[in-house]
Amino acid sequence: MSNMTRRNFIKVIGGATVAASFPMIAQGSSKGRVVVIGGGYGGATAAKYLRLADSGIQVTLIEKSSEYVSCPMSNEVLAGERPFDSLRVSYNSLSTRHGIEVVHGEVTDIDPVRKNVQTASGQDFQYDRLIVSPGVDFRWGAIEGYDQQAVEVMPHAWFAGPQTLLLRRQLEAMSDGGVVIIVAPPNPFKCPPGPYERASQIAHYLKHQKPKSKLLILDHKDKFSKQGLFKQGWAQFYPDIITWVAGSSDGKVNMVEPSSMTVFTEFEEHQGDVINVIPPQQAGEIARRAGLTDKSGWCPVDQKTFESTIHNDVHVIGDASIAGKMPKSGYAANSQGKVCAAAVAALLNGNAVAEPSYVNTCYSVIAPKHGISVAAVYQLNDEGKIVGVKGAGGLSPMDASPWEREMEAMHAHSWFDNIISDSFQ
C-alpha cells in the first residue's frame, strides 16, 4: 500500500472505528434470549450490536467487575502521561441506552446441555445462545516462583487496575540509576505489541525523570510485532536505556525469586529494582472450565459465526478464541463482537448468516509525538479460516516523517476514544 493510501486508510479506521465491519441485517421479530459472559471489548460490543441488530432479542451481559478498566492506553499511565481514571468505563450506557440487562457477578458454570449459566452467588440464567468473551488467563506455574504472592512484588499489570497502579508506584519509588526488567511472554498472548509499547513508555519516563536508569527486556521470542519500527524508535529516543534480549540469546525467563528481586534464564540471573513479569497465557478460566478449549488452551470456533466447534449454541469471541490470523487485541475483539452479533441475530431469526469481514489496527505510542501502527482487513478463505486481505492495511512506513509519526500518535488517542464509545456506549 502506498504511504498516501495507507494514511487515508488509517484516517478512516482511526476516525470511524469501522462501523462498516458490522454487517447490518434486516430487523426481524425476535425469538431469542442471549447471555453474554464478560463485558470487555468483545462481550460489550457483541451485547450492544445484538440489540442494534434486533431490539427484540433479550440480552443479558454478566460481568464480574462493576466497571471496566481498559488495558489499551494503560501503558501511558505507567509513564505518568495519562490519568488512571481515563481508563475506567461504566456499563451504564449498555443498560440505559441499549436495554441490555447488565448483571455483576462471576459465572462459575456453563451447562451447554441444559443451556444455562450459573454465577457464584447462585443466580441461574437460561439462554438460547451464549456468547463467551472472558479474555485471557495466565498459565500459572509456567514460570517457577511466579504465583499470586509474587504478583504483589513483581506486578504483571497485564490486567489494568490495581496492578497498573502498583507498577506505576514502584517506578516512581525507584531511584535514578535503577534497573527495570520486563519479562515478555511467548506467543500467542494478549496484545502482541503491548510489552514493547510498555518498554517505550517506561523508557520515556526514565529518560525524563531518572536518566541514569536502564530497562532490560528479557523475551521468550526471537521476533515481535512491529519490531523494525520499535527498534528504530528506541534508537531515536532511548538508545542508552532499552536493551532487548531475544529468546535464543538466553532471554527466556524460567524462574523468578521475588525475595531477592531476581529472574533466572537458562544461563544467567538478572537483578532488577522494578520487575514486570508478563506470564504465558491461555483462554480465561471459565472457558477452560466449560470445556470450550482444545489442547492449545484456546477456544476453537467456526470462524464465520464464532460458534464453538465443541459446544453447540455457544460462541466464543475475543482473546479467548482461535480467530485465524487475527491478533488478540481490543480492536479485533470489537470486530469479532460485531460479526458474532450479526451471526447470532441471523441464526435466531432463521436467516442466512452474511459473509463477514473483520478489521484490526494496533497502534503503539513510542513517545508522546511518535506513534506507529499495523493494520489489516480480514476475510474468510475457502477453508473457512480468517486470513488477511492482500493489499489492505500494512505497517507504518519506516521512512515516515516526524509529522506522520505525530499524526499516528494522535490517531492512537482518537482510536481509543472511538473504540470505547463504539464498544460500551
Ligand X SMILES: Cc1cc2nc3c(=O)[nH]c(=O)nc-3n(C[C@H](O)[C@H](O)[C@H](O)COP(=O)(O)OP(=O)(O)OC[C@H]3O[C@@H](n4cnc5c(N)ncnc54)[C@H](O)[C@@H]3O)c2cc1C
Contact set with ligand X (CB under 6 A): 37-43, 62-65, 68, 71-72, 74-75, 106-107, 133-135, 158, 190-191, 194, 284, 286, 318-319, 328-331, 333, 362-363
Are 43 and 37 contacting, i.e. CB atoms less than 8 angstroms apart? Answer: yes
CA distance 122 to 132: 19
Nearest CB to ligand X, comparing residues 57 and 333: 333
Query: Least Å distance between CB 285 and ligand X?
Result: 7
Query: Least Å distance between CB 358 and ligand X?
Result: 13
Nearest CB to ligand X, comparing residues 75 and 170: 75
Nearest CB to ligand X, comparing residues 65 and 236: 65
Cα atoms in the 13 Å half-sphere on the side-chain side of 324: 26
Rounded to the nearest 10 degrees, the angle between the axes of helix 402-424 and helix 41-53 is 60
Query: Least Å distance between CB 29 and ligand X?
Result: 29
Nearest CB to ligand X, comparing residues 30 and 115: 115
Nearest CB to ligand X, comparing residues 30 and 329: 329
Nearest CB to ligand X, comparing residues 39 and 388: 39
Query: Least Å distance between CB 398 and ligand X?
Result: 21
Nearest CB to ligand X, comparing residues 231 and 289: 289
Q: Which residues contact 55 (CB under 8 A, 6 or more apart)?
A: 27, 30, 99
Bond into 188 cis (ω within 30): yes
Query: Least Å distance between CB 40 and ligand X?
Result: 2
The CA–CA distances, whole Å, from 108 to 33, 74, 284, 367 equal: 20, 28, 12, 42
Query: Least Å distance between CB 182 and ligand X?
Result: 11
The H-assigned helical ranges of 120-264 are 162-173, 194-209, 227-237
Are 323 and 283 contacting, i.e. CB atoms less than 8 angstroms apart? Answer: no
Query: Least Å distance between CB 167 and ligand X?
Result: 10
Torsion over CA: 151, 157, 159, 160 (sign): positive
DSSP β-ladder status, 68-69 and 88-89: antiparallel
DSSP 8-state assignment for residue 318: G
Query: Least Å distance between CB 302 and ligand X?
Result: 18
Residue at shortest CB range from ligand X: 40
Neighbouring-strand partners of residue 56? none
Burial of 128 by CB count in 10 Å (0-12 exposed, 13-18 middle, 19+ buried)? Answer: middle
Coil, helix or strand for 378?
Answer: strand
Nearest CB to ligand X, comparing residues 91 and 244: 91
CA distance 18 to 157: 29
Q: Which residue has the cell 509474587?
A: 150
Nearest CB to ligand X, comparing residues 131 and 241: 131
Query: Least Å distance between CB 350 and ligand X?
Result: 28
Are 310 and 15 contacting, i.e. CB atoms less than 8 angstroms apart? Answer: no
